[in-house]
Structures are given as structure tokens and as C-alpha cells.
Amino acid sequence: MAAAVAAAAQNWRRVPSSTGPVPRSRHGHRAVAIRELVIIFGGGNEGIADELHVYNTATNQWFLPAVRGDIPPGCAAHGFVCDGTRILVFGGMVEYGRYSNDLYELQASRWLWKKVKPQPPSIGSLPCPRLGHSFSLYGNKCYLFGGLANESEDSNNNIPRYLNDFYELELQHGSGVVGWSIPMTKGILPSPRESHTAIVYCRKDLGNPKMYIFGGMCGCRLNDLWELNIETMTWSRPETKGMVPLPRSLHTANVIGNKMYVFGGWVPQTMEDEISARDGEWKCTSSFSYLNLDTLEWLALNSDCQEDRKNLLPGPRAGHCAVAVGTRLYIWSGRDGYRKAWNNQVCCKDLWYLDTEKPPAPSQVQLIRATTNSFQVKWDEVSTVEGYLLQLNADSPAPTVTGGIVVPETALLNSQGIKLDLHSQTNHMVPNNVQVTSNSLLKLEAKENITEPENVATQEATKKNHLDSKGFKESNAPSLLPVCTLGPQTSANVAELHDLDIRTVNPDASVSSTVSSTQTMVTQQAVKTESSSTNGAVVKDETSLTTFSSKSEVAETTFIMPSTKVSTGHTNNSTMHLSKTTPLRQIATVKTRERQWYDVGIFKSNTALVSQYYLLPEEKSGLSNKVENADVPDYSLLKKQDLFPGTVYRFRVAAINGCGVGPFSKVSEFKTCIPGFPGAPSTVRITKSVDCIHLSWEPPVSPSGNILEYSAYLAIRTTQVHENPNQLVFMKIYCGLKTSCIVTAAQLSNAHVDYTSRPAIVFRISAKNERGYGPATQVRWLQEMKTSSSK
């Protein structure tokens, strides 16, 4: 494991170029991350910087947010922590020789600054002005330790005093602070120091939070490690294993998983393996180590950058910033040499990142649209990845023949949920074209959006889908990034793409959409929508009630479930018979294990239009089955195979980052359409009025002839006892040529509320041509969650 991580440490990537207003290089700045955004404040280089810069790691764009409120002065070597969507700034040097003890709060969802004044401790005084302190967050408290104070009232006559005082700052929920306190601690306090690091780590299995302080400066550099048990407020010096990093200050320390990664800083010059004395020579370093916080063992990942690798690893630096975005570590700027004069700094301008482990498995592949020979699919994004490897395997084409008429085979398929908050009463559903691409939209824990300026937020969304960076070939599938068109009354800044459900959709649903509305009539209500697509069955029954299964019993794959109201089909030239006692999970697993997986290609975004896949040479037939260590073949040398109509295809996807290809997702199963039947109706709209709702839709994109009629169904409550408790009973509420209908209050009063994911009323709409009914569009109309006093 250690060797794998050490090898991964060589996979540093330098970001070649960024768009937007790139900040000037500096040192003494600080950075935090909110989702994919890196937020940087302060620092100095020919003066102290006072701008707030934001880097979007997903789009490789910098931007300057329009901040307002009590904007703080620029500062360096300050405390900087992030609590949800708010950021706290404490202390730092505001000008040469003058330090601060002010506390500011930034609400990043609104870019609103506010100066806050905590209550002083009941015993003792407020923290004195300082720089180079540590400021760490755990729960609703920040912990302040050490730093450097100026004993002189004259800023030009600096008399330094190293500190080892320890304060606790209690925060109010969401915004504001309560006050400072001086905790009563046990054990021996760490020695006074500044420019050290402090992190908080809590083992998941033990739930015992601890703060670790490492290194710093107190006349000479330090490399001691101190531990504070936050529950017992006990200080100790734990024993560690492995090679302890050299004494250092102005380094960075970041926790990713169970490891504390330490990079750079000022270290002593070494002569014949002996560390120089107190007043000896010091240099910047690019050494990189981690401490396993479970075993307390140090591991050196790389030493100072060698000349032949200087373009492959970040160079020596101190006073830089480092921030973790998921499992990826970003490093930006910092001093790259020793200069005493403030106005003669040499600062790095480069931005680097390192993936510390392989990415997790993405969600199951979800279907947006199926045709006779293609699928439009998507999956949930995985943060900080460089691309996705999409694979499939297939059954032989085997359409079902019923009475001489070819009928699409029934298939249970996965769904997705996409919620789109719109400030309008009419909900525009676009199930075949649903993805919000504005990179300015971000759902945060505080349920507020951080927005970037519109002129830079959406530029990257139109770039091509496939990787073209070093190491990967382009896949054959064309770029596809669907855009959701918002109504005229809708602000793009309130739309969000999030909360993707992994649900199993019913066998007759070809396009599954969800519309949300509150139960109470509101003039300007926020309508929420989810949308997803599946391929599926033909509704053959023309009676008023039709029963379908609502939820799959298998999470890994989809499967066929026969119903008296749905025509089931064949796979592998034989009929699949599922008895009531058949272990469906085993069938799916065995089928997957027996088949060969083929690469569809490598995609840069989380969408793909699949019409072909690659056939591997026989001598490499097992190549792509090596999940963890899959090599990426040269696709230009491989033959392509087109998709067939009426064929079941299984999909899985894996994310790729600098550490390689991660594990594959669970398997999804979709079926291409059979020629001649109409596609599913699209662009479903639900408009709510006082005593009814208006349901409307657009004709299928592929009608395959003249549309003779449409049928709309409503899932209703029933007292019938079914063997499968997840089955839904549908009542036909409309049949005709119009592409709209009214659903009355009386009909809605009989509606079943489906709780398989979020509570919703379920509609289905299908089209009929000369061949018969095609797959249906399923619409889930989200309902207000009812609160209950008891659980």
C-alpha cells in the first residue's frame, strides 16, 4: 500500500493554463475548498493582497467574485477556515510590522463579508494580534494556537514574541459566533511557535477527534508532533514510526482520508547528513511526506526535486497554499527562494495537483434516450477526475414476436433524478435533454448557490466531451452535452443539477421524469423537477387499470419481470422464464460474469452517445476486464461494432484520475428500440391551477409513422393485494389525439403517492401508431414532504 501511494506521488500534474483573471503570485496566502471551488485570500508580494480569488477546479477558471459588506483589509499569515458555505478569517499581518486580531465572516453563497465581534473569555483576555498562528475547525468550534506577536507598539520597531496560547471560538449555526474561551487542558502545552500547521482528524471507527500540530518556527525550525485529544482536552507527544520530515516552517499540511500530507516549507541546509545549527543556512524544499494518522507512521513520498524531474514535480517553495478537493491535493504559488527584503520576493506562479488515490466508482449508468441503434446515457459526476471509461456487453439481437407483430422486449431500467428549481408555476420537463451545463451553479450544504460571473461560467460547458490530453485517445462517439432550456421567468442562477437517484424504473417506462410541486397553492411557487429515461415495454392492455412493478429487487443490474399486462420478450434466442422463487440477483450476477466487456471509449464529461463499441484483438480479449489495472488501448487500431435494434446491452463506467482507472460502477441494462414503434412522448409540462392540473407533452421525436392516439395513466391507490408490494396500479385518465389533458381534483384525490424515493404522484404517457403503443414516459410529480411529530 505504501509503495502504491509513493508511486502515486510521482503523478503530479501541472495545470498548463487557466482562463479568467489569474491572481498574481504571492506567499502567506490561505485557501479553502467549497465543493469544486478553491477560495484564496490574502498573502503578499510587493504589498499585501486584499482580493478574494476563486478557482473552479472543474472548469479550470479563475474569477473575482463581487464581494460586498464589511470587506476586510488585506492580510497575510492569517487564520482561514471553512464551515459549510461560510469562511472565517482571523488575525494576520495587515501591514509590515502591524498585526491584527479582527475576525471576519464571509457568506460565500452571497459573497457577503461581515465583521464579527465575539464575546471575550469569562477568564482571561481576548487573543492578542498575531500572525503565523493555526486556526482549525471541528464541529461548531475553532481552535486557535500560537503565532507571532509584536511586543512593540511601534510597528517599525518589531519585537517578536512567540506564542503558545490556546483559545476556543464557539460558532453559531449558519452565521455569527458566540465567543472566545480558554479551555482548561491537561498535559504539557506545545512550545511557543509560529508558521506551524494544525489539522483535526477523527477516526470513523472510534469517533475520537484529535488535533495534530507539526513543525513551525521558534528561533529555529521544528519538526515535533503534538496531539490534542479534543474530547478530554489532553495534550501529548505521540511516538511515531518511520522517518520524520526535516524541521520546517511555512509548510502546508492537509488531511485526505487517514493521512496528513506535508509539503514544502523552509528546512535547514544539510551537510553530510547533519542538520545545520540554530543560526545556520536554510532553504526552501519540495519534499513531500505523509503521516498515517491511524498508525502514526511517517512515509517520505519524494525528496527535494531533482534537476531531471523539475518539470514533473512542484519545485521548492514556502508560504504556499495547499487545499484538498476530494482526494486531490492542489498547491499554488509560494516563495521559491530566500529573500529577506519584503519588496524583493521571488514567488512561484504555478498551479499543481496530485491525485492521492484512485477515484471511487461512479453511479450506475442512466439512460436519457434510446433509439433503434443508439443510447444517450449519463451517470453522476465524480469530482476531480480526468475522464470516464465506459464499457458494455450485449445479448444477441432477439426481438419478441407476438402474433406475427414484432414487440419491444420488456426491460427494467435504472433511472436518475434531476431536480431543477424554477421560479414559475409551469414546469418544463425536457426528459431527452435535461442536463444543466452552467458551471456557475453549485448546490451547497446551506442550500444556497455560489455563482460565478456569467461571462466565464459557461465557456467550458461547450467544449468537446472526450479526453485529448496526454495518455488518452479520443473515443469515436461524438461530443454530447445536453442543455436544459429554462423558461423566460426562470433565473439560470437558481437552477441546480443534483440529488441523482439510483432507482429502478418500471418496465413500461421509456422516459422517466419527475415534477415537483407543493401541495399548497402558491402564486410563485418553486417547482422542482427530476428527469430520467429508461427503455421499456409496450402497454397492450386497453382497459382502465394496468398493473406494473414499481421497484426492482436487484440493485446491481436490471432484469425482466413478467406481468399479465406487459408483453415480455426473449434473450439469447430463448425465452427467459422467472419463477416466483427465482433468485434474480444470482441470475444477473452470473449473466454479467459470463460476458466479455468492450470499451465504448473514454469520455471527458459524464454523458455519452453510444452507437458503437470497440472490438478488442483476440490476444487482448481480457484487457478491459482488468478492472483496477485496465490499460487504455489505442482505439485507432481497433475495429468498431454498431449497436443492433432490439438488443439488451449492459453498461458499466469507471472514473480515471492521475492514479489510474478506479473501480467500475454497478451494472445497468438497457435495450435498443425495435423499428416501427413510436418513441416516447417528450417535453412533459405540468401546470398547477386551483382545482386541477394541466398535463401536456410533445409528440415523440421518432414517431415511426402517424400517431393515432395518446394514452395517459395515473397511479392510484388500491386495496388489491399483490404478491409484489411495490407494484403500482394505473388508471387510464386520457385517450385521444390531443397532446394535453386535464387531471381533475377528483382524480388526484385517488392518486397513489409513491415513496420509492421522494414522495411523488406518478403519471405515464405513451403514443400509438399503426404498429401499436410504444414505450411510455413516466412523470413523477414531487409532493411536499409531510412532517410528522413521531417517527
Which tens digits make up the pLDDT trace of 424-455?
233 333 333 232 222 322 333 333 344 343 33
Integer Cα distance of 254 and 198 in angstroms: 9
Higher-confidence residue of 325 and 567: namely: 325
DSSP code, position 210: E
Q: Which three cell numbers stand for residue 751?
A: 392518486
Q: Are 217 and 195 in contact (CB under 8 A)?
A: yes
Integer Cα distance of 102 and 636 in angstroms: 60
Rounded percentage of the chain residues whose pLDDT exceeds 70: 67
Q: Which three cell numbers stand for residue 204?
A: 470513523
CA distances from 375 to 178, 403, 456, 480 (A): 55, 28, 31, 12
Overall CATH class of domain 358-395+597-615+637-674: mainly beta
Integer Cα distance of 654 and 364 in angstroms: 10
Rounded percentage of the chain residues whose pLDDT exceeds 90: 51
pLDDT at 301 over 60: yes
Supply the pLDDT for residue 74.
95
| Pick from 353-367, 548-562, 719-733: least confident | 548-562
Integer Cα distance of 641 and 743 in angstroms: 46
CA distances from 238 to 201, 224, 230 (A): 14, 10, 15
Supply the pLDDT for residue 2.
54
Supply the pLDDT for residue 356.
95
CATH code that applies to domain 685-782: 2.60.40.10
Phi, psi angle pair for 150, to nearest 5°: -110, 115
- Rounded to an integer, the average pLDDT of 680-707 is 90
- Rounded to an integer, the average pLDDT of 722-729 is 68
Short-list 247, 244, 249, CA closest to 196? 249
Q: Which three cell numbers stand for residue 669?
A: 441494462
- Could you give the residue ranges of the DSSP H alpha helices within 560-708? 584-594
Report for 164-178, 482-496, 609-623: range of highest mean pLDDT? 164-178
pLDDT at 339 over 90: no
Q: How far is CA 620 from the centre of its chain?
A: 34
Supply the pLDDT for residue 514.
43
Supply the pLDDT for residue 204.
83
Give the DSSP H/E element, type plus range, for residue 106.
Answer: strand 98-107
pLDDT-based confidence at 354, cuts 50/70/90? very high
Supply the pLDDT for residue 671.
84
pLDDT at 365 over 50: yes
Cα four-point dihedral sign 744, 746, 749, 750: negative
Supply the pLDDT for residue 155.
74
- Rounded to an integer, the average pLDDT of 464-474 is 35
Q: Identify the three-state secondary structure at position 571.
A: strand
- The 10 Å CB-count burial string (b at 16+, else e) for 349-385 is ebbbbbbbbbbebbbbbbbbbbbbbbbbbbbbbbbbb
Domain residue limits, the chain: 78-269+282-355, 358-395+597-615+637-674, 685-782
Integer Cα distance of 559 and 667 in angstroms: 11
DSSP string, 7-45: HHTT--EE----BS-PPPP-BS-EEEEETTEEEEE--BS
pLDDT at 381 over 80: yes
- What lies within 8 Å, CB to CB, of 321 at 6+ separation is 29, 30, 31, 40, 43, 252, 331, 332, 333, 334
CA distances from 682 to 250, 305, 484, 761 (A): 58, 57, 13, 18
- What lies within 8 Å, CB to CB, of 249 at 6+ separation is 194, 195, 196, 215, 216, 217, 221, 222, 265, 266, 318
Give the type of residue at 689. Answer: S
Integer Cα distance of 760 and 514 in angstroms: 8
DSSP-assigned beta bridge partners for residue 547: 729
Q: How far is CA 673 from the centre of its chain?
A: 32
Burial (CB < 10 A; 0-12, 13-18, 19+), residue 461, is middle
Grid-cell match 508511486, residue found: 7
Q: Are 381 and 406 in contact (CB under 8 A)?
A: no
pLDDT at 23 over 70: yes
Higher-confidence residue of 157 and 613: namely: 613
- What lies within 8 Å, CB to CB, of 420 at 6+ separation is 436, 484, 495, 496, 497, 528, 529, 531
Higher-confidence residue of 584 and 211: namely: 211
Q: Identify the three-state secondary structure at position 746.
A: helix
Phi, psi angle pair for 669, to nearest 5°: -130, 125
pLDDT-based confidence at 783, cuts 50/70/90? confident
Mean pLDDT, the chain, whole residue set: 74
Short-list 682, 673, 671, 692, CA closest to 772? 673
For the chain, give the number of residues.
791
Supply the pLDDT for residue 594.
58
pLDDT at 361 over 80: yes
| Pick from 141-145, 200-204, 510-514: least confident | 510-514
pLDDT-based confidence at 271, cuts 50/70/90? low
- Rounded to an integer, the average pLDDT of 253-264 is 97
Integer Cα distance of 611 and 476 in angstroms: 9
Integer Cα distance of 36 and 43 in angstroms: 22
- What lies within 8 Å, CB to CB, of 564 at 6+ separation is 547
Burial (CB < 10 A; 0-12, 13-18, 19+), residue 784, is exposed
Burial (CB < 10 A; 0-12, 13-18, 19+), residue 16, is exposed
Number of Cβ atoms within 10 Å of the Cβ of 437: 17
pLDDT at 589 over 50: no
pLDDT at 461 over 70: no
Higher-confidence residue of 349 and 400: namely: 349
Q: Identify the three-state secondary structure at position 625.
A: helix
Short-list 582, 613, 616, 564, CA closest to 727? 564
pLDDT-based confidence at 591, cuts 50/70/90? very low
pLDDT at 362 over 90: yes
Integer Cα distance of 766 and 679 in angstroms: 8
Number of Cβ atoms within 10 Å of the Cβ of 439: 18
pLDDT at 547 over 70: no
DSSP code, position 620: G
513-526 per-position pLDDT tens digit: 444 432 222 222 22
Integer Cα distance of 81 and 200 in angstroms: 12
Higher-confidence residue of 443 and 290: namely: 290
Q: Which three cell numbers stand for residue 326?
A: 476530494
Phi, psi angle pair for 492, to nearest 5°: -65, -20
Higher-confidence residue of 680 and 474: namely: 680
Integer Cα distance of 713 and 784 in angstroms: 22
Superfamily of domain 78-269+282-355: Kelch-type beta propeller (2.120.10.80)
Q: Are 677 and 767 in contact (CB under 8 A)?
A: no
Supply the pLDDT for residue 345.
54
pLDDT-based confidence at 275, cuts 50/70/90? low
Integer Cα distance of 21 and 585 in angstroms: 53
pLDDT-based confidence at 9, cuts 50/70/90? low
Phi, psi angle pair for 593, to nearest 5°: -65, -30
Report for 193-207, 243-257, 298-312, 689-703: range of highest mean pLDDT? 243-257
Supply the pLDDT for residue 153.
80
Q: How far is CA 390 from the centre of its chain?
A: 19
Integer Cα distance of 145 and 103 in angstroms: 15
Short-list 321, 198, 292, 299, CA closest to 245? 299
pLDDT at 400 over 60: no
DSSP code, position 747: H
Q: Are 307 and 240 in contact (CB under 8 A)?
A: no
| Topology match between the domains 358-395+597-615+637-674 and 685-782 | yes
Give the type of residue at 664. Answer: F
DSSP-assigned beta bridge partners for residue 512: 532, 778
pLDDT at 235 over 50: yes
Supply the pLDDT for residue 674.
83
Higher-confidence residue of 230 and 470: namely: 230
- Rounded to an integer, the average pLDDT of 264-272 is 80
Integer Cα distance of 764 and 566 in angstroms: 14
- Rounded to an integer, the average pLDDT of 348-354 is 95
How wide is the angle at C-alpha 313 spanned by C-alphas 307 and 318, nearest 5°?
A: 95
- Rounded to an integer, the average pLDDT of 766-777 is 89
Q: Which three cell numbers stand for residue 338?
A: 530566500
Short-list 322, 357, 319, CA closest to 338? 319
